[in-house]
Structures are given as C-alpha cells and as structure tokens.
Structure 1
C-alpha cells in the first residue's frame, strides 16, 4: 500500500497540475495521500516533514528567486532586453533569422534575464524577422527554446540560472563546476539544435511553406490561464509581466549590455577569486548554521552578481524608467509564487522520501548500472519529467539521494563538480514534456499549437540535451571533471 500511495500521490500532483491547478495546494494534498495510504501520521508529516523541507528550500534559494526576478523585470522595463535582442537580429539579418533568435535568447538568459521575460520579449521580435525571412512560424518556439532553455540553463559554466545554483549547497560546488565539460555540452546542444532547425527550415522552403497566416499574438494577455502551469518552471510569475513602469526610451546597446556583463564578471570573480581568499571560519559557528564556504559560496556568488547588476541597471536607467517603484514592486512580487510553488514540490518530495516504501524506489534508482553518474541522471530525469519542473525535480532528487551520491563519488575519487554538472543537465532534458509550464507558455506566446511546434522543441530541448548529457557522462567517466 505504501508504494501505491506514492504512485497515487504523484499521479494526483501531475494530473491536476497539468490542468492548471495550483501546486501550492496540490503538493500538500498529494503528500497527505501518500502518507495516508502508507499508514503514516498525516498532520505530523505536513507540519514536521513537508513544511521544514519547503522552508529549507526557501531559506537557501529565495534570494536567488527574488533578485533574479527583479533583475529580469528591470531589464525588461528599461528596454534593455529588447535593445540587445533587436541588435542581434539586425546584425545577422533575415538570411540567418533562426540563428539570430537563438543567439539573442542565449545572450540575455546567460546574462541573468528570466526565462519568461525573454519569451515575451523575443516572441514579437521573432515574429517580425521570421515573417520577413519567410521562415515558418512553427519554428519560433524551438528557436527561442534552444537559445533560452538548453545550454544557457544547464550546461554553460557560470550560468546564473536557478537550476545551476541548486546543486551547489549539496555538493559544495560553484556555478563554474566542470567548465570544460559544460562548454562541450553547450556546443553539442547548440550545433545539434541548429542543424535540426536548419534542416526543417530548408525542407519548408523546398515545399514552398512560408511564415503562415496565423494572427498576431497579444503577449500582454496570452498569459491568462497559464500562470499556475508556469509557476514551477522558472523564477518569474507571468502575472507580473504586464505590470510595472516601462521606459519611454531605450538605452544604447552598450548601456543595455553592461548589466549582463556585470553578472558574468562578478559571478566569476566571487566564485574563483574573492570568496576563496576570505577568512570565513565564522560560518562554522552555530549562529550561522554550522556551515562552510562550500555550503554557501556558490549561492553567495550568484546573488552578489545579480545584486551588483541590479544596481548598475538602476543607475543607468533611473531617469528613463517611468515608474521605478512599480517596476521594482512587480519584479519582487514576480518571485513569490514560483519560489513557493517549487518549495511545495520539495516538501512533497520530502514526505515521499520519508515513507517506508520509498526504500524500494531508492534501492531501484541506486541499483541502476553505470555508476553514480548514470543513476543520478536517471533519477533527476524521471523526477523532472513527472513534476514538469527542472528545479523541482532536481531538488527532490538531491534532497532524497544527494548525500548518498556524494558518498559514492567520494569512495571512487570522483569530483563533486562532475555530479553537479550531470545533475543540472539531467534536470533540463525530460522536464520539457508537453505539460511543462515553460513549454505551454512558449507555444502560447508564439501562437503555435503543440501539434505544430512541439516536435521541434523535443528535438532541440530533449534529444539534443540527452546527447550532450550522454557525452558528459562518458567523458566524465573516462577523464574525470575538467
């Protein structure tokens, strides 16, 4: 009955979340279903298992959600994201419309701009350039996804994405974990994705297929009905996209790009130079949780980088922003629903892991052949697929089994940085199933149905990512982390 309870609880969570029900409510209900059928005390698991685990996630990662959403909103309302994307598209021209959209998305998301902000800015611009170049509209979601949701989310070293931050407290790593492997994986994802999109574009041109006659999509209203689905997919609440105070004039390309450069440089300096040289022995004191630099350094580096970038974007655009307080309020508010939604998923995972029957699941996962890398990749893939959330699936996997994987890695002399990179990349593969909030939102803002555009998302977001993940596991197993 215990195993049945876990399965039914998960089915309830996945099924109703796909239909747009709030994870804030579904996660505790699903956890209680699992506990009920396992004969476990319900209230105890809700208040003593579910809530402490959710609270721990908030304590560790709320600053990242808050600053990430605020930075994204400031970059959006200042017009900086539009300026950067427009410059990339104009530079490459209509002849390379697909590549222009991919690179524009990659630049802004690697610079710290929220995924959903990038979606809503890039979609109208991609519509214009795709129409002018006679590239089918159905390729827009895959092109945007390739640039925003693949290598810049999970593989490229130093990316400030929440997914890249989650393993850091578990493994004592930095955002630059396994940089060589991350770069190789990024190249594989980009090359494979572009090869597929170019192949489909060429076939469409040969068949005489143009952009299409679908009506333009109003990105100011398209998020209606998608909010709950999107809440677990990234750190930005789509309801706040239309709020705030947009700038009446745009900055120059140099000024628009400066905050992104600040994110990258400060993140690198904090991770590799500044924090390692500081005397942080006081962290071992009980009042600071008895931790160490390895436990907090990675998160500190990213939040410092985002904080510095926020100061820069405000200094550059303070007079240009029509309503600074409204923009700041919208950015701060945009972080709340996503972080609580993912924390609720983590709480559900903690209750499931506390069930006696979970030992069966744990033994099966840990018994997968190929060593800890293969087992970790499989566990993270499965949980991310079921929850439709890369961050939720990744955290549940590491909460339940992260310590075990770290012990197994230490026993064979494996660098934790390799575990970090594999875990993050695994979270960004099967999470892109049809019920994923980011997929649903992206298709909606592009005015494309699942039938029209999802196959190409699968190829660039799942198949390409899987090939890169397999390559990293093989190289890491042979040569270790580099």
Structure 2
C-alpha cells in the first residue's frame, strides 16, 4: 500500500502538470495527500518541518541564479543583442543550412546564460522565416529549437551556467566545469546524432513534397528596418559570463578557504558558510552580474526606456521558475521520507553500477515530474549520500557523478507535460500532435547520450 501511495503522488503531480495546473499549488497538495494517507497525524509537522524547510532551502541556494539569469536574458533581448546574434549566425552559414543555424543560435544563447524560455522567443521569429524561405515544414521547428536550447548546452557542455549544471555542485562539491572531457564527448554525440536525425526528417518531407505549410497559428513578421548592433558587441556579454564563471570557480575557494566568515560589527555575531557548498554558486552569480553590467554598458540606449517593464517581467519569470522547482524539491523531500519510497529506492539501488544507477534514477524522476531541475533536485536530495558512497567504493571521481547526473536530468524530462515543451509549442503555434514526435526523438537521443558517456568513461578512464 505504501508503494502505491508513493507512486500515486508522483503520477498525480505529473497529471496536473500535464493539464496545465500550477506545480507551486499542487506539489504540496500531492505531498501532503501522500502523508495524509500514510499517517494523518503527521501532516502539519511534515508540511512545516520538511516540505517548507526543503523548499526554502532550495530558494536560499539557487534563487539568485534564477533571478540574475532571468534579468541577464531579458536585457540580452531588450538590447537587441539576441537578434544580432541570430542574424549573424544565419548570415554566416546561409539559409541553406537553416537547421544548423538555428541549433547554433540556441546553443550560443543558452551557453551564454540566457534562459531557455527567453531563447525560444528570441529564435522563433527568425527560425520560422528561414523555414518558410527554404521550404522546411514548420512542424520540425520545435525539435530544432529543442536540440539547440534544451540539450547539450543545458547540462552537458562544461561550464554552462544553466541551473541543471549548477545543482550538482552543492551535492558533489564540484564546479560547473566538472568532467570536461565527458561533457565534450556528450556534446559531440548529441549534436551529431541530433543534426543527422533532423536532416533525415527534412529529406523525408522534401521527398514527400511537403513544404512549410499553410494556416499556421502565431506567425510573426520581423521588422528588418530596426538597426542591429555589431555581432561582436552582442556576443561580448556571453563571453564575459563564460570566462568569469571559469575564473571565479577557480579563485573563490582560494580566497575564502574551506569556510568563509564575516563579522560586520567587531565582537558581534559571526556569519560562516561552507565554501565547498557555495563556491560554485557564487561563481555563477558573479559571472551573471558581470554579464548584466556588460549588457548595460554597451546597450543602455536601447534598454533605458524598457528597463522598468523588462526587469519586472524578468523578476516574475524568475519567481515562477524558482518557486516551481523549489516546490518540486519540497515535494521530493516528502516523498523520500515515505515508507513507499524505500521500495523505489531499493529497486533503483539494485542496479549495481553506480553511474547507471544514478543516470536511471535521475532521468526517471525528471520524467515523472516533467522537470530536469526538479527531478535532479529530488534525486540528489534523497540519494546523494548513497551516490557518493557508491562512487567512492568504485573509485569513480565525483566530477563524473556530477556530469552524469546533470546530463541525465535533461534526458526524459521533456515528456509532454514539461513546461519548456508546452511553452515551445505555444510560442510556435503548433500542437503536440503536430510537433511532439520529433521533440521526443531529441529526448531519446539526449537520454542515449548519457549512457554513451558512461561507456566512454569505462572504456578510456578519461573525464
């Protein structure tokens, strides 16, 4: 019975997310409902002492990353930098390579720290125009955007500031650049396989005489009269974020030592935090702040009149994304405390290989919750100590555990109820029936990449 209660809570949350209801509202409902069926007297204690405790703890750790990332992405959009980057890459590669152009644009923007959701809005107008010009079916566009923005630059490429690559740093005491060789191998696998698949689908459509299509919803018209900044200026903030993240990740531990302390008033209360927990997060925060200042320095004229409204939109987006994930984290903590979770944990623990065990656990929970960051948080929050113990027993570096966990979170997370998928389809004006099949193919490629990376590690020992 306890096992059924645990699964019912998980599937209930997946169902309401698929139906479009707020996870912030229904994650605590699902969690407390499971506690109610297990031990009604424990409901208030578990809600206040576990769910809220873990939810607030997540916000404490990661909300500044959500906030700075949202503001940075919004400024990139308002300044016209994103449009300049898109147009420059398209011009460089030519319209004949429309799929590759859009994938690279998504990769550049997300690796530079722009939110996945912002990237969708930035790419869509140019992507749809390019597809129309060269006669590629619009129904393939969401999968192309997903390959560029939701895959290798989200959690695979070393140093990416996306939250899926930051969460493991606090559990494994690593940096965003953990296991760079495995990250590059995974990136090559995803990019080569994904582009091959999408080109195969393009040629299929061409052979069948299918063009862009007609009667599509949410078509856009681009104002080509609007001047654009130099692509070198537009790329500068992205370069600053990437370089600063790398530099700060190396310097901060040396500056602060194992424990960072501060005393504002001599003789009064001393504040102390563990550098191995906060160092990587501080590095990303500092890098994003420098990126924000760089955008403001070079694009202030374009931003000035729109900053007030744009910053409000960015803060609203950060609050929504952060609270969604934090609520799922609290939900995961409650589920992990239920008797039924022990059965799930034991079943997953029965997988003997530590890396395969971690990969399957993370991608399964990410798929159930429909969230890469949510599933990753649940898995590591409940089982990080076990993963670390298994890795140490097998002689596996924690950097490898970081990279596998991060990549696995972006595997089966993009099921139909995933928020990014729903947003992508809404922005492009397409339905699940029209476009989800190819998105799911990218999902399968991304999931396969995790196991390809594991195999590469065991064959070569490189990471």
Could you say which TM-score interval applies, normalised by the shorter chain? over 0.9
The alpha carbon displacement at 1:289 in A equals 5.3
The alpha carbon displacement at 1:249 in A equals 5.1
Question: Which of the numbers 257, 269, 274 marks the counterpart of 1:280?
Answer: 257
1:473 aligns with 2:454: yes
CA–CA separation in structure 2 for the residues paired with 1:289 and 1:392: 28
1:261 aligns with 2:239: yes
Aligned counterpart, 1:454: 436
CA–CA separation in structure 1 for the residues paired with 2:235 and 2:154: 19
Scaled by the length of structure 2, the TM-score of the pair is 0.94
Aligned 1:31-430 pairs, distance under 5 A: 31-39=31-39, 41-217=42-218, 250-272=228-250, 274-283=251-260, 288=271, 290-291=273-274, 293-321=275-303, 322-369=305-352, 371-430=353-412
SS state at 1:430 partner: coil
SS state at 1:431 partner: coil
Aligned 1:433-448 pairs, distance under 5 A: 433-448=415-430
Q: CA RMSD in A?
A: 1.9
The alpha carbon displacement at 1:276 in A equals 4.0
The alpha carbon displacement at 1:74 in A equals 0.6
Shift of the 363–271 alpha-carbon distance from structure 1 to 2, 3 Å rule, reads same
The alpha carbon displacement at 1:324 in A equals 2.2
Shift of the 204–405 alpha-carbon distance from structure 1 to 2, 3 Å rule, reads same
CA–CA separation in structure 1 for the residues paired with 2:317 and 2:362: 26
**1:158–1:268: 8 Å Cα contact kept in structure 2?**
yes
**1:415–1:480: 8 Å Cα contact kept in structure 2?**
no
CA–CA separation in structure 2 for the residues paired with 1:282 and 1:24: 34
**1:4–1:37: 8 Å Cα contact kept in structure 2?**
no
SS state at 1:147 partner: helix
Q: Please say which of residues 324-333 and 46-55 is displaced more in the overlay.
A: 324-333
Scaled by the length of structure 1, the TM-score of the pair is 0.90
CA–CA separation in structure 2 for the residues paired with 1:295 and 1:400: 17
CA–CA separation in structure 2 for the residues paired with 1:47 and 1:22: 20
CA–CA separation in structure 2 for the residues paired with 1:88 and 1:470: 32
The alpha carbon displacement at 1:213 in A equals 0.8
CA–CA separation in structure 2 for the residues paired with 1:101 and 1:27: 35
The alpha carbon displacement at 1:3 in A equals 2.0
**1:249–1:320: 8 Å Cα contact kept in structure 2?**
no
